[in-house]
Structure 1
Amino acid sequence: MTWKQILTDFKHYLKLERGLLKNSIDSYTHDVERLIGFLNLHHNESSPVTIDSETIQSFIYDASKSLNPRSQSRLISGLRSFFNYLVFENYRKTNPLEHIESPKIGRKLPDTLNINDIDSIINAVDLSKPQGERNRAILETLYSCGLRVSELINLKISDLFFNEGFIKVTGKGDKQRFVPIGASTQKYIDIYRNSIRNHQTITEEHRDILFLNRRGKQLTRAMIFTIIKQLVEKIGLKKNVSPHTFRHSFATHLLENGADLRAIQMMLGHESITTTEIYVHLDKSHLKDILETFHPRR
């Protein structure tokens, strides 16, 4: 069995059995490809079935020279999933990463923006350019609905249920959820659709995609990052801001204003409540206010 053959089978498994999106599949396979590159560099002819823990450990040690602990942990997790697949398919009896521990990493709190920062970024959009209305609608949607960047670029016109006040979002593993959308965000999306999008020449395969580039095609993740980076630089904001920062800010501001954690979990599309609980750690003063307000021995 060759690495190329098993890697192709692994990709099919991730897509069909686990329902992962392309970005997640690429991440998993990239980990295996790095291992293959290491083996080739050292003229090691180990196959996916015969490779042992010592070789894996050498690879991880070599890779760790250029990776921080969090990236090391993700690499180990990706390889562990790959070899678990081989065990599951009875290609191997054991996982060579079974006794390899991931580095200890602290729980990283997400970066957030305050409402003034968000308003400043959105107000910096140049509405005199055709893409300005689109970019404003994008930022308003990211913040008001708490979307992942992949969910944003895949949002369809047929997913908009404005009369009901919801949008349908397709998240990780193709799981769908309905997220409330406010009247102001609906207004900005409608302005973009009616004044810009309706006058574009749109490619057939992207006719239902909401946010398009100037060629009438779907926007890329990289383009969303670029739009935000340029706006942050324009206003001189000294913070590390990405599309995910708007999602974190959405959740944090909801929590600070008294929203229920379960409701936030549903809107974010988190499978586990423990993922959402990270936002509880963001604002200690907010927690203190809750105690003072609601506890009988306040």
Structure 2
Amino acid sequence: MLLQEAIDEFLLYLEIEKNYSKNTVAGYSFDLKTFEDFLVKHHRSLELNDIHKTLVRRFIQEQITKENMKPRTIHRKISCLKSFTKYCTRENLLMNDFMVGIETPKIDNKLPVYMSLQELQKLFRYLENDTGRFAIRNHLMFKLLATTGMRRSELVDIT
């Protein structure tokens, strides 16, 4: 089976059966497309069973050296490929899992940075005194973020 066909099936699985968010599916799609582009660029076979561990290692090496990707991004790409091959193996689309033995780089666990109470009060005082065109919207958006723990992307998706 061709890589693109397997990717299409995998993305449908994530979207329909796993009910992943559009952003998550888009991220998986981007990472898998990047891998496919690497194979095309290096004139490698796009047949799923022709892909092997050495190609994946070269892909990771290129991402680090030429694309200057950070360990967190590389970790995400490797995790994406592992999920993909796990799905393909389970669905009998792939004979040998080419991600076996590929390790993810260690990453620092960054903790979120929160505003102090004084900083929040200062922000809200500024927003309350704002008379601009979007003053009410901005005030409500920041209060919603500060009081609910909502993510920025969740706020952006609200209609």
TM-score, normalization by structure 1: 0.49
Please point out which of 125, 143, 147 is paired with 1:144.
Answer: 147
Structure 2 equivalent of residue 122 of structure 1: 124
How far is 1:88 from its partner?
1.6
For the aligned residue pairs, the C-alpha RMSD in angstroms reads 1.7
Structure 2 equivalent of residue 133 of structure 1: 136
Equivalent position SS for 2:6: helix
Structure 1 equivalent of residue 81 of structure 2: 79
How far is 1:92 from its partner?
1.2
What amino acid maps onto 2:123 in structure 1?
I
Return the structure number with greater relative CO, CA threshold 8 A, min gap 6. 2
What amino acid maps onto 1:139 in structure 2?
F
CA distances 1:159-185 after superposition (whole Å, capped 9, x unpaired): xxxxxxxxxxxxxxxxxxxxxxxxxxx
2:74–2:104: 8 Å Cα contact kept in structure 1? yes
2:14–2:25: 8 Å Cα contact kept in structure 1? yes
Could you say which structure has the larger radius of gyration?
1
CA distances 1:53-97 after superposition (whole Å, capped 9, x unpaired): 111111011111211111111111111111111112111133211
2:75–2:104: 8 Å Cα contact kept in structure 1? yes
What amino acid maps onto 1:140 in structure 2?
K
Bigger helix fraction: 2
How far is 1:106 from its partner?
2.6
CA distances 1:20-71 after superposition (whole Å, capped 9, x unpaired): 1111001111111111111111111242232011111110111112111111
Structure 1 equivalent of residue 30 of structure 2: 30
Equivalent position SS for 1:19: coil
How far is 1:127 from its partner?
3.4
- Over 3 Å counting, the alpha-carbon distance change for 1:121 and 1:3 in structure 2 is farther
How far is 1:5 from its partner?
2.2
How far is 1:3 from its partner?
2.8
Matches within 5 A, 1:1-298: 1-65=1-65, 66-125=68-127, 127-155=130-158, 209=159
Bigger strand fraction: 1
Percentage identity across paired residues of the two chains: 28
1:150 & 1:110 partners in 2: Cα distance? 15
How many pairs does the alignment contain? 156
Q: Unmatched 5+ residue regions in structure 2?
A: none
2:103 & 2:85 partners in 1: Cα distance? 15
- Over 3 Å counting, the alpha-carbon distance change for 1:69 and 1:154 in structure 2 is closer
CA distances 1:78-136 after superposition (whole Å, capped 9, x unpaired): 11111111112111133211101111123222212101222233333373223210111
